[in-house]
């Protein structure tokens, strides 16, 4: 067996959907097995089947002792192949909305009175697995199609580092799946120029406006130098991807400009995926 994925995360964040996507990508998927049984099952599959890719769904219904002993399970699984942990997370309010819409009980609802208590306790119980996660995905604003695209991006090239450059707007929330977040709200804002407001950071008028700003150039140079210095180290550490998020107020001008400029400077050295998260809000 060459690759093992453990898929977990908060209830309602899309674990079942992720497993369906992985099955479509050729993974042999098993869901809802107790953690303690995983090493035995994987060993049996490794001996009796010629499986290249295995995905294992795990959730909070495993015993607390099993969840706390996840490190031991992880190390045993590493004997059978390369192991990655995919951790799905979602903003609390979005989870509450999803459970309300589906009218499904939370797995911890028999132990706690409120849904919010269930969500907070689940985070605590899953923390040992989250700390081992190599792939974090925030599904708060994502469809199943978005989830498939993200999994393809983050799992598609296991031997090469993929740099994901993401612009976002702080007023819509900070991305939960970012490895690094850079705040560019202090830069001159094209939004306050009525002629520039309708454009984005991909358009020449906004580019020219920010290229004339010493602050914007210095901020870009600092982020570029950081990435140029440390991306080789991340690649040598066998990281599959790094997500770098650049945020301004609305996610239309300054953050988009910096992301686009970084893409142009780094694409000759790295495989790059670009995501402008707030594009649907652009005027």
Known binder of ligand: residue 59? yes
Known binder of ligand: residue 10? yes
Report CA-CA distances (Å) from 107 to 45, 56, 82, 117, 248.
29, 18, 30, 12, 37
Known binder of ligand: residue 62? yes
Known binder of ligand: residue 100? no
Residue 112 near residue 118 (C-beta atoms within 8 A): yes
Q: CB-hemisphere CA count at 13 Å for 89?
A: 23
- Report the Cα 177 to chain-centroid distance in Å: 4
Known binder of ligand: residue 13? yes
Known binder of ligand: residue 254? no
Known binder of ligand: residue 250? no
Known binder of ligand: residue 15? yes
Start-to-end Cα distance in the chain: 49
Residue 7 near residue 18 (C-beta atoms within 8 A): yes
Cα angle 66, 23, 21 (rounded to 5 degrees) comes to 95
Beta bridge partner(s), residue 271: 162
Known binder of ligand: residue 200? no
Which two three-digit tokens encode residue 2? 């060459």
Strand, coil or helix: 148 = helix
Residue whose structure tokens are 């702080």: 170
* Residue stretches of the annotated binding site for ATP: 9-16
Binding-site residue numbers for GTP are 59-62
Residues in binding site:
9-16, 59-62
């Amino acid at each position: 067996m060459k690759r093992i994925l453990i898929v977990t995360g908060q209830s309602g964040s899309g674990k079942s959907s992720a497993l369906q996507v992985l099955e479509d990508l050729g993974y042999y998927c098993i869901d809802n097995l107790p953690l303690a049984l995983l090493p035995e099952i994987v060993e049996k599959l490794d001996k009796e089947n010629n499986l290249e890719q295995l995905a294992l769904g795990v959730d909070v219904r495993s015993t607390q002792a099993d969840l706390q002993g996840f490190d031991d399970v992880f190390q045993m699984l590493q004997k059978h192949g390369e192991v990655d942990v995919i951790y799905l997370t979602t903003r609390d309010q979005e989870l509450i909305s999803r459970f309300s819409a589906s009218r499904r009980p939370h797995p911890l609802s028999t132990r706690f009175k409120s849904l919010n208590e269930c969500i907070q306790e689940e985070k605590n119980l899953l923390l040992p697995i989250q700390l081992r996660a190599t792939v974090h995905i925030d599904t708060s604003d994502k469809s199943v199609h978005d989830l498939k695209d993200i999994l393809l991006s983050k799992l598609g090239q296991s031997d090469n580092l993929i740099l994901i450059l993401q612009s976002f707007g702080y007023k819509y929330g900070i991305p939960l799946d970012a490895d690094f977040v850079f705040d560019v709200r202090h830069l001159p804002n094209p939004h306050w120029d009525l002629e520039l407001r309708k454009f984005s950071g991909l358009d020449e008028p906004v580019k020219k406006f920010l290229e004339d700003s010493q602050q914007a150039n210095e901020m870009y140079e600092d982020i570029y130098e950081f990435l140029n210095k440390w991306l080789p180290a991340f690649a040598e550490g066998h990281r599959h991807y790094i997500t770098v998020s650049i945020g301004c107020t609305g996610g239309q001008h300054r953050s988009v400009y910096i992301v686009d400029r970084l893409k142009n400077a780094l694409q000759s050295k790295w495989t790059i995926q670009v995501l402008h998260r707030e594009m649907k809000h652009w005027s």
